[in-house]
Amino acid sequence: MITPGKTIGIFGGGQLGRMTGIAARKMGYSVHIFEPAANCPAGHIADREINASYEDKEALKDFIQQIDVLTYEFENIPSATIEFAAEHRPLHPSSSVLFTCQNREREKLFLRANNIPHADFEIVTSEEELEAAVGKIGTPCVLKTADFGYDGKGQIKLSSEDKDFGKIWAQFSAPKAVLEKWVQFDLELSVICARNSKGEQCTFPVSENIHTNHILDLSIVPARISEHVTKEAETLALQIANQLDVVGLIAVEMFLTKEGKIIVNELAPRPHNSGHYSFDACVTSQFEQHVRSVCDLPLGSTELLEPNVMVNILGDAWHAGEPDWAKLLEDPKVKLHLYGKAQARPGRKMGHFCVMDKSLETALHKAQQYRNLITSTP
Ligand code: AMP
């Protein structure tokens, strides 16, 4: 057990690391961050920030020597770095969980091997394989890079009109891809599951997620789905966490099809954007739960205190200067989180806010109103 007072190391210095760090510090842990870019969101709240390349062995040794347990806040960390770190300190979720989830091919093969519902897919490594795969899967479908894809980056949707496979493959410029059937979904859902090394597991309330331009825009909690679908979504997430032997968090993104079937889209073994609401609206946040599980402490209650809607604040909101935060905060049931990023670029996640209310409908209505307010005012 890694008890409060010890030191947690985190690979990655973004907002997920920052919020995990805040939860850890609240509990009395020290937080050390390893992140290539200086002045990172997690660095601001850390006891120590190391800015070095993930390939820098000396910097890695120095980082590892001063921590008791290690985790990460994003998946694209080189395998050699992870293996090296895991030889010296406990790493959670494990390197094998990360290996499966950091690559779409391996993730899909895991879902297939474990009979977890997923969209039909084929692995593609050439123009010829792409043509054969489209013939097999049918259109519409979506071509996704096997490595380094997120928020819709490295994805092309293909329709029946797209027949120049040579051009598509050349444009795609990745050595390997997954071609996936396009799912006609009613809703997108996610379930975050926490698991500790004793195999104790629990889920957070199911979130209903609305994306705009492939980026999460709103999370509505609890999701507006039946009890039966809720149970099924939770059961699938628990099954996945158990089968992967996760210690820490795993976020499971799902589609609810028009026929009422759940299909798993993606896995992320870390805190997740669709779980940010838990920071304000659950007895234990996803960030605290991550700390508890990687430190092998008992898990906290994930009870939802009140229905709520989380809105992502993108860099676009700065188009005419700093948004009017004071106006947003006039509603005492709004919670604002800004990540301390220096540059507001369009599409960049700069922060989020959460609107709580006894009535989910009221929270949703207010959230949409406030989103318009901060995107339209300087
Ligand atoms: P991903 O990077 O796989 O999470 O995809 C980003 C977003 O693209 C998802 O949240 C969906 O809105 C959409 N998307 C991805 N794959 C599919 C699919 N097979 N069918 C329908 N929509 C998809």
Q: Domains in the chain, start-ordered, CATH in brackets? A: 7-91 (3.40.50.20), 120-181 (3.30.1490.20), 185-375 (3.30.470.20)
Residue pLDDT, tens place only, 264-305? 999 999 999 999 999 999 999 999 999 999 999 999 999 999
Q: What are phi and psi of 302, to 5 degrees?
A: -105, 20
Show the tokens assigned to 150: 């997120």
Show the tokens assigned to 11: 């690979």
Contact 337, 276 (CB under 8 A): yes
CB-ligand 1 contact for 178 (6 Å cutoff) = no
**Ligand 1 closest atom vs CA 151:** 2
> What is the spatial distance between Cα 337 and Cα 161, in angstroms, rounded to a whole number?
44
What is the overall mean pLDDT for the chain?
Answer: 95
Where does the chain have alpha helices with state H? 15-26, 57-65, 79-88, 95-101, 104-113, 127-137, 165-172, 227-244, 278-281, 286-294, 325-328, 360-376
CB-ligand 1 contact for 217 (6 Å cutoff) = no
Helix (H, G, I), strand (E, B) or coil at 106: helix
**Ligand 1 closest atom vs CA 155:** 2
CB-ligand 1 contact for 19 (6 Å cutoff) = no
**Ligand 1 closest atom vs CA 253:** 4
CB-ligand 1 contact for 214 (6 Å cutoff) = yes
pTM of the model: 0.96
**Ligand 1 closest atom vs CA 209:** 10
CB-ligand 1 contact for 266 (6 Å cutoff) = yes
User: What are the residues facing 201 on neighbouring strands?
Assistant: 195
Q: For residues 165-171, give the mean pLDDT.
A: 92
Minimal-distance CA residue to ligand 1 atom 2? 152
Minimal-distance CA residue to ligand 1 atom 6? 152
Q: In angstroms, what is the span from residue 152 Cα to ligand 1's centroid?
A: 7
Contact 250, 195 (CB under 8 A): yes
Helix (H, G, I), strand (E, B) or coil at 55: coil
- pLDDT for 210 equals 98
Judged against a pLDDT cut of 60, whether residue 157 lies above it is answered with yes
Residue pLDDT, tens place only, 38-86? 999 999 999 999 999 999 999 999 999 999 999 999 999 999 999 999 9
